[in-house]
Structure 1
Amino acid sequence: MNRLSKLIVLTLASLLLVACRSTGGNRHTSKQTVTVGILQYMEHDSLTAARKGFEAELKKEGYAQGKNLKIVYQNAQGDQDNLQTISEQLLQKSDLVLAIATPAAQALATASTDTPIVFTAVTDPLSADLVKSLKKPGGLITGTSDQAPIAKQVALLKEALPKAREVGILYTSSERNSEVQVKEAEKELKKAGYRVSKKGISSSNEVQDATNSLMRTADALFVPTDNTVASTMSMIGQLSVEHQVPVIGGSTDMVDAGGLLTYGTNYSQLGRQVGRQAVTILKGQNPATTAVELPKRLDLHVNRQQAQKLGIDLSRLSLK
């Protein structure tokens, strides 16, 4: 090879190297297959709605399964002991991982290497030690919070059930997201003049006894966006009718499953929000500087069938 040929080869190699580096800001091009892992903490309507919303948003943004997207989905079924193993496996296989619910996000954050993580259905990312701040999370993790407007929920309870004097609170004592909401709910309820009784549970096996105990004295039951409680809302709804004690749910899905009403998070839309975040990160945006988002849509939601079973007239409420 003569000197001129060598010079041409070296020049072409340099140009190719520069071209590769110039596209480094994008984690993945549209022609590549992107692998997205999803870790859902357990099966219940709110978390599933968030997952479906996330998948729908990816599709809307041009990521189609079987073409340029592969989704690896894992459900821990509420098994804390299994979360860490699943997290490590997903992070090894994926270009990005979605964590659905606080325990799933915490497990992924602990196991994370250099794979970006987005979360949803996490009430308080700060107290869960997931981010340094909401505006600038730091590290490789960001997402959407499902922080409920508890003050508005209490105001709605007061308007809908003017004769109520005692409100029971059912929650999972081991879920950090629930503890945060219960503290806020107790403060708001007492400020509104209610007596408050609480029952903490450690598993779904305790829900029936705890609910029965609370409903013997309470005029209404308040349940936060608690994963264990949400997974048993159908049973809680049946007990609500038996005791004639209405339930104020933390989310619209919890109300549909057996609650009376709420002003709360639309989890399908929350999933779409985090889907948009995921797309920007796949295109090169840094999670460390991608702000955690609060719900952009909150719905005033009534279960009219449950209201009829409880003999409660909600016609005076404004549902706009």
Structure 2
Amino acid sequence: MKRKGIIITLGAILVLLIGVFVASLTSSDNDTATYSGSDNGSEQAGIENEEQRTVRIGILQTTSHPSLDEITAGAIEGLAEHGYVEGENAEIDFQNAQGDQNLMNTMAQALVEDGADLLIGIGTPASQAFANATSEIPIIMGAVSDPIGAGLVESEDEPGTNVTGVKDQAPVEAQLELMNAVLPEASTIGLLYSSGEDNSRAEAKRATEVIESMGLEPVTYTVSSTNDIQQMVASMSQEVDVIYLPTDNTIASAFDTVVSEADRYDMPLIPTVDLMIAQGGLVTVGINQKQMGIESGRMAAEVLNGQDPSTFPVFVLSEGDILVNQEKAEHLNVTIPESILEDAVIIETRE
């Protein structure tokens, strides 16, 4: 009887142990399922967060001028048109160095250190400041005349760096042919630009070659800052027949001074930028600055979407409209040929 009791006790213990073991397995399976579900949920949440993540974009403008302002506005518009809207899924930090190179470098470094996902340089100096500050964050050039000469890309077809964007190749030959048609008696052509800007030097070199090929005499004048402009224009006005102005941020920022001084001597001005006609230039074949910015914004959006800037070809914007300031022509007693006026956009002087 005693032996039978021991057997029953052992049997009960065995059943109890089996129950505990089975319960343990069930609990483990539940924990695994719970963990797996949690992991899948976290992964899904991560995807959703990535889709909803706000990108940070730094924009650095070289200086204040209507043409550069238009490019900046166009870049923001281009970003929005391609899915990156400020205040919704894009945070844009805009800085303007007002032509101060040291300040420009400081601003570029700050935007890099603040963790920008992409940088847009408005003008050659701003783009160079970004390139000096980082070789990793993608940089979009918002208007650079000579990206290779400025050391920003290795090739326009395949940049080979973290920089790509829009090249504003002024139609120099068309501009100078227009000048010659409007001012056929002009034989000495003055070129005014800043000695410190790579883009200006490159464009002035192109212009010099075209002027010489036309059988005219180019004379080069350079300034180191806006402080030199008034006196330089006064000197040029006594030595040349017309002043041609390559794309130049320093000249652009003080173009009102250029116009004011040139008007004192009835000196015609042939700028390369469309908005300068409204400020007092005579004629030009001008590239639309707003469109240049929109193209920059488009390229920025494509890079944010995964396009590699090192293999993303530079976009060249080189065609423009004939622009005529008829009021300025009348002031200078210049008769614009009807054949030109038929195809031209007439621009009124901005007050």
Query: How high is the TM-score relative to the length of structure 2?
Result: 0.84
Identity level (%): 34
Distance change in 2, residues 1:109/1:9 (3 Å): farther
CA distance in 2, matches of 1:225, 1:9: 65
CA distance in 1, matches of 2:214, 2:50: 52
Residue equivalent to 2:141? 119
Match of 2:302 among 271, 275, 280: 280
Give the residue type in structure 1 aligned to 2:29: L
SS at match of 1:294: strand
Is the contact made by 1:233 and 1:259 (CA closer than 8 Å) also made in structure 2? no
CA distance in 1, matches of 2:246, 2:222: 12
1:51 Cα shift?
A: 0.3
1:4 Cα shift?
A: 2.5
Which shifted more, 68-77 or 295-304? Answer: 295-304
2:244 pairs with 1:222: yes
2:343 pairs with 1:319: yes
- Give deviations 1:188-229, integer Å, cap 9, x for gaps: 101101112111110001011111111112111100010111
User: What is the aligned length?
Assistant: 316
Residue equivalent to 1:54? 75
Residue equivalent to 1:241? 263
1:120 Cα shift?
A: 1.4
SS at match of 1:71: strand
Residue equivalent to 1:92? 113
Which shifted more, 51-60 or 203-212? Answer: 51-60
CA distance in 1, matches of 2:299, 2:41: 31
Match of 1:164 among 169, 186, 194: 186
CA distance in 1, matches of 2:334, 2:343: 15
Give the residue type in structure 2 aligned to 1:58: L
Distance change in 2, residues 1:113/1:14 (3 Å): farther
Point out 4+ residue stretches in structure 1 off by more than 6 angstroms: 16-21
Structure with the higher helix share, 1 or 2: 2
Is the contact made by 1:198 and 1:214 (CA closer than 8 Å) also made in structure 2? no
CA distance in 2, matches of 1:83, 1:155: 36
Match of 2:282 among 234, 254, 260: 260
Residue equivalent to 2:152? 130
1:157 Cα shift?
A: 1.0
Residue equivalent to 2:30? 5
2:92 pairs with 1:71: yes
1:20 Cα shift?
A: 8.5
Answer with 1 or 2: which has the greater Rg. 2
Is the contact made by 1:36 and 1:69 (CA closer than 8 Å) also made in structure 2? yes
1:69 Cα shift?
A: 2.1
1:130 Cα shift?
A: 0.5
1:8 Cα shift?
A: 3.2
Distance change in 2, residues 1:238/1:76 (3 Å): same
SS at match of 1:269: helix
- Structure 2: 5+ residue stretches without partners: 1-23, 345-351
CA distance in 2, matches of 1:111, 1:187: 35
Residue equivalent to 2:130? 108
- Give deviations 1:16-70, integer Å, cap 9, x for gaps: 687699x69xx963x2222211100111111111001111222333433322222
Give the residue type in structure 2 aligned to 1:84: N
Q: CA RMSD in A?
A: 2.3
Give the residue type in structure 1 aligned to 2:89: N
Distance change in 2, residues 1:186/1:113 (3 Å): closer
CA distance in 1, matches of 2:93, 2:272: 29
Is the contact made by 1:58 and 1:64 (CA closer than 8 Å) also made in structure 2? yes
2:273 pairs with 1:251: yes
